[in-house]
Chain A
């Protein structure tokens, strides 16, 4: 049982890393980034190329930096120039980017499933509650907790974090108060996509790589964001843990309904509270 709960936390942690990126981007730009799963996938492939050559940790670093750069470009070229447009139009553009990125990866790396190696340092298992548990999965939990803690501290204790929280509550009023939302969002969108790259690499050894690997986890992350409440960081954290457990326990106890449970939960919650648990925006 302990092992199963831990596995749920592993998946929940990965969902958190993606969902919090979506929340950051939505908070500043009011855009649901459909390309987020594709960035996760691209990050994973970039890391894989270096990891397959024996440089696992370098792959992690390069992937995070590359995705941060992609995020900054995305913010300047797409989100900034489209801020006067309808948000749904911007959402559709991110859908177009998803299609472009999937094609780029298919052409570069091929459609075949690739398996990501585990770094030597984290290979092996430890015994928890009498059963073996892979050290690598503990690493994933540690990474997501570190990110959650770091992000919470940044948002809570720094001036910039204050601005981000303000802009996530209402970007228009925040910019009226004299805060340069465009500059802020460059950092925030870059951070969000860097986290997508990070989770892509970290999740790599757990999943098999394919150009569509981002789709499934993206939809789960959307569910996390919506359940937690659009624009809410704490909401995303708890919703990610919840969906992680539901995903895992459902697969064990209700296998026929497992994949449906998150959808049903989301539909129920949206009908009950259109803003999600902790959100104030729709």
Chain B
């Protein structure tokens, strides 16, 4: 377990020297994202990129749990689905103002994950994987069987209100707008995760991951920090689910399914779950691969499976791990 989540170097105290470059990179990334609709003329490409960013957010949320807590989840889709379903169902029923529904769709999964995290963080290894699998499938079964909630297996389309947060909400279903929104959220999320990992809370969570008993002995609370990591990770998944549901105007039980949790985990591991950027890069690589493999769509699951097997055998640290090792070698022998 620990090998997957081991940090090679303990992160130093956060100071301007460290956060400065991060902020600069984030600003450049945001600017590039904002320019994307002008740089990329094809609507189709933008639409594909949007979907890739949703995947990247979900993969990042699974990867963050591995990185910070050393826990592998096979049920992250629970929070992805919950974000989408809470928004879709509340809107379709007209139970509350759209802005409030939006915030509820983010707060509810976060809160549930925090409460679950208080208990789940104590359970390690395979039992943890099975437990998260069970929670995810329990949500899936509810969405699948409860026809009155959102038409069960068929899934449900819903209409966005004309305005949300004072903006024309039809813009959110336009790829050239959504791609910028989703990209900006992804960049800010990655920046936030990097800052969290360097923060006191993040360091304590990492200490608990490495050895909960020692962390307790030196006087740290070992319950709350890991639970906060669960909450943050669920918030990211919920954002991804909420954005996808908004963009498509559609929710379906597949949003909760364990195969989605599994593929997010695969993307995270292939990208490199030991790195904050790894899962997002893994998701984007898979998306590009899927585009190339379009003609062989029938074989797509087998392609994913084979890539996973090969990558794990050849580069257990993932794509980012491989890049990092290559870069270090180049610097050593100029």
Contacts and interface: CB of A to CB of B under 8 A. Distances in A.
B244 interface: no
Nearest to A267: B134
Nearest to A91: B129
B258 interface: yes
A38 to B, nearest CB: 10
A219 B119 contact: no
Contact of B137 (A92, A219, A270): A219
Contacts of A183: none
Contacts of B134: 223, 263, 266-267
A256 B145 contact: yes
Interface stretch (A1-9, A80-88, A127-135, A153-161): A80-88
B72 A88 contact: yes
B269 A260 contact: no
Nearest to B4: A86
Given A89-B312, A92-B266, A274-B123, A222 B130 contact: yes
A162 B142 CA distance: 44
Classify chain A's interface size.
35 or more
Contacts of A82: 312-313
Contact of A282 (B119, B124, B300): B124
A67 interface: no
Chain B, interface size category, equals 35 or more
A263 B137 contact: yes
Interface string B113-125: 0000001001111
Contacts of B142: 260
A259 interface: yes
Nearest to A81: B313
Interface stretch (A42-50, A96-104, A116-124, A234-242): A96-104
B131 interface: yes
Contacts of A267: 131, 134-135, 138
A93 interface: yes
B43 to A, nearest CB: 31
Contact of B258 (A219, A270, A274): A219
Interface stretch (B99-107, B183-191, B283-291, B303-311): B303-311
B15 interface: no
User: Taking chain A's interface residues, is the majority helix, strand, or loop, or is none over half, making it mixed?
Assistant: helix
B127 A226 contact: yes
B300 to A, nearest CB: 8
Interface in A209-245: 219, 222-223, 226, 230
Contacts of A88: 1, 4, 72, 125, 129
A271 B301 contact: no
Contact of A92 (B119, B141, B265): B265
B269 A89 contact: yes
Interface centre among B298, B312, B316 (most CB of A within 10 A): B312
A92 B126 contact: no
Contact of B133 (A86, A93, A222, A275): A222
A173 B129 CA distance: 26
Given A100-B302, A222-B133, A91 B316 contact: no
Contacts of B308: 92-93, 95-96, 99
Contacts of B298: 103, 106-107
Contact of A95 (B3, B123, B130, B266): B266
Given A85-B316, A96-B304, A103 B309 contact: no
Contacts of A103: 298-302, 305
A100 B306 contact: yes
A219 B306 CA distance: 23
Contacts of B301: 99-100, 102-103
A19 interface: no
Given A107-B299, A222-B133, A256-B145, A92 B312 contact: yes
Contacts of B141: 259-260, 263
A60 B130 CA distance: 31
Contacts of A81: 313
Contacts of A104: 302
Contacts of B306: 96, 100
A100 B3 contact: no
Contact of B131 (A34, A97, A270, A275): A270
B138 A260 contact: yes
B152 interface: no
B262 interface: yes
Contacts of B1: 86-88
Contacts of B138: 260, 263-264, 267
B74 to A, nearest CB: 9
B141 to A, nearest CB: 5
A35 B156 CA distance: 32
In the complex, the 6 A-B pairs of residues with the closest C-beta atoms, listed nearest first? A99-B305, A103-B302, A96-B308, A96-B305, A99-B301, A100-B305
Interface of A: 26, 32, 34, 81-82, 85-89, 91-93, 95-100, 102-104, 106-107, 219, 222-223, 226, 230, 256, 259-260, 263-264, 266-267, 270-271, 274-276, 282
27 contacts: A34-B262, A82-B312, A86-B3, A86-B316, A93-B308, A93-B309, A93-B313, A95-B305, A100-B302, A102-B301, A103-B298, A107-B298, A223-B130, A223-B134, A226-B131, A260-B141, A263-B138, A266-B130, A267-B131, A267-B135, A270-B127, A271-B119, A274-B122, A274-B123, A275-B127, A282-B125, A282-B126
Given A93-B308, A260-B138, 15 more contacts: A32-B129, A81-B313, A85-B3, A92-B265, A92-B312, A100-B302, A100-B305, A102-B301, A107-B299, A266-B134, A267-B138, A270-B131, A271-B123, A274-B127, A282-B127
